[in-house]
Amino acid sequence: MAEKPELIVFSQYKLGGVQNFYYNLLSNDPYQAFDKKWIFSDDVNSDDPKLPALFNCCEEIVFPLQQTPGEDAYIRASRLEKLISERAGAVLTNFDLELSTLHLHRRNNKTIFFICHDEWYLSRAVRFDFLIDVFIAHNIEFYNRLRSLLPKRKNDVYYLPYGVNIPSIQRKPNVDKELKIVIAARLQPEKGTNDLPVINRLLQEQGITVKWTIIGNGPEKTYLQQELKDNAEFFTFSKNQEVVNEMANNDIFILPSRLDGLPVAMLEAMSVGCVPVISKFNEGITAVVTNDIGYVLPVGDNNAFASAIAELHYNRQELETKSKAALRLINEKYEVKERSKEYFDLFLRYKELKKKKRLKIPNYGSGYLSHPWIPAIASKTLRKIRKVLSEK
């Protein structure tokens, strides 16, 4: 029996939509044509909340970024490259770690796909243009931006919206009870979570009380627990289905984020009928959340968020109309099996999409003696000479 090609996925060992994006994708492989490996980079010095558990959808490896004191980028790459075989296949990349490793330790049988999730990824796409074979964006804005930034690579940029599981449960109509509002995100300033108490106060000043459901963890959690202690519940879940089940107990999904692409949590909330009330964290999001579905509001405009929630509070017919529109959109355009098939159809073209090798002199900091192009004996000799000279 012929050996399967290999599909390697890189992401981070922390809570976030990127990890859920990959889980949904890998769990809905229609062909099972690849041997799949998922490598999570773990920054032990980071305060970002870790994943509560691995996903167990394929071979999964946690790669520690800091293994020994003083380890530089070259040594780290030499550790990581041992996990990347010479087998034919594809690599899904996002970050400097795996891209620099694949630069220093070329894998000529691997086609490199780069997933651009939001604004933060654009500069990396340009910097590693010489190495990347295929670019994928799931938000129309970043598809257009990539094609503009890389005019000679337009044909290598693909627009592929992703999908979410469509659950059997849905929120129940809320005719006259307090609105329940859910957020599922890392609880940190970039996600706008510290705006929630302000929005809550603005609503109370209008005589409107709501219930908050806050799913996630992060540095803002203690602050939110203090400020919203009278009308909020806090949850952390180890399984994604638990998140979706809790979302179904709510009416509105809120996300006053400063930086996002196409949030997985938003689509999951819409899949159970929550109405999205979000900030305009990029232009492309307005192509998804249209006026008949929800609200896209200026970043940082808490008054606008309070006004949108108040509108839904007073007009429950509009709440239910938007809820049905959100459900309809997910069913028609974001069903996970259909969307995942489009991704794997592209991955299976890895041989055809592989570009000719393009050279660039690597430079990843001052630790040049660890560079894989420098023979080990020469590196050791130069280190000894440097040590002797420093002691004189």
Same-domain pairing of 191 and 329: yes
Q: Is residue 170 part of a domain?
A: no
> Which of 307, 271, 267 is CA-nearest to residue 288?
267
Q: Is residue 168 part of a domain?
A: no
Q: Are 109 and 133 in contact (CB under 8 A)?
A: no
Same-domain pairing of 353 and 327: no
Contacting residues for 132 by C-beta, under 8 A, at least 6 apart: 93, 99, 112, 113, 114, 125, 156
Give the strand pairing for 110-116 and 275-279: unpaired
Same-domain pairing of 325 and 226: yes
16: left (phi over 0), alpha (psi -120 to 50) or beta: left
Find how far residue 17's CA is from the centre of its chain: 4
Q: Is residue 321 part of a domain?
A: yes
344: domain CATH number?
3.40.50.2000
Angle at 257 between CA 137 and CA 337, to 5 degrees: 40
Same-domain pairing of 275 and 376: no
* pLDDT for the residue numbered 369: 61
Same-domain pairing of 75 and 193: no
Same-domain pairing of 223 and 259: yes
Instruction: List residues bridging with 59 in a β-sheet.
Output: 37
Any idea how long the chain is?
Answer: 392
Q: Which domain holds residue 31?
A: 6-163+338-387
Same-domain pairing of 214 and 292: yes
Tokens of 19: 């990890």
Same-domain pairing of 142 and 229: no
Q: Are 97 and 74 in contact (CB under 8 A)?
A: no
Q: Is residue 223 part of a domain?
A: yes
Alpha carbon distance 271, 335 (integer Å): 9
Same-domain pairing of 324 and 353: no
Q: Are 156 and 135 in contact (CB under 8 A)?
A: yes
Count of structural domains, the chain? 2
pLDDT by 10s per residue, the chain, length 392: 679 999 999 999 998 899 999 999 999 999 999 999 999 999 988 888 899 899 999 999 999 998 888 788 888 999 999 999 999 999 999 999 999 999 999 999 999 999 999 999 999 999 999 999 999 999 999 999 999 999 999 999 999 999 999 999 999 999 999 999 999 999 999 999 999 999 999 999 999 999 999 999 999 999 999 999 999 999 999 888 999 999 999 999 999 999 999 999 999 999 999 999 999 999 999 999 999 999 999 999 999 999 999 999 999 999 999 999 999 999 999 999 999 999 999 999 999 999 999 888 777 765 666 666 666 566 667 667 776 666 66
Sign of the dihedral through C-alpha 65, 68, 72, 78: negative
Q: Are 323 and 275 in contact (CB under 8 A)?
A: yes
Same-domain pairing of 278 and 259: yes
Same-domain pairing of 346 and 311: no
Angle at 246 between CA 243 and CA 248, to 5 degrees: 115
Kindly report the number of other CB atoms within 10 A of residue 390's CB atom. 7
Q: Is residue 366 part of a domain?
A: yes
SS3 363: coil
Q: Is residue 87 part of a domain?
A: yes
Tokens of 118: 């939001």
Contacting residues for 69 by C-beta, under 8 A, at least 6 apart: none
Q: Is residue 120 part of a domain?
A: yes
* pLDDT for the residue numbered 137: 98
Residue 211 DSSP one-character state = E
**Which of 306, 334, 362 is at the close of a domain?**
334
Q: Is residue 135 part of a domain?
A: yes
**Which of 319, 334, 349 is at the close of a domain?**
334
Same-domain pairing of 330 and 347: no
Q: Which helix (H) or strand (E) holds 327?
A: helix 316-333
Tokens of 45: 């010095």
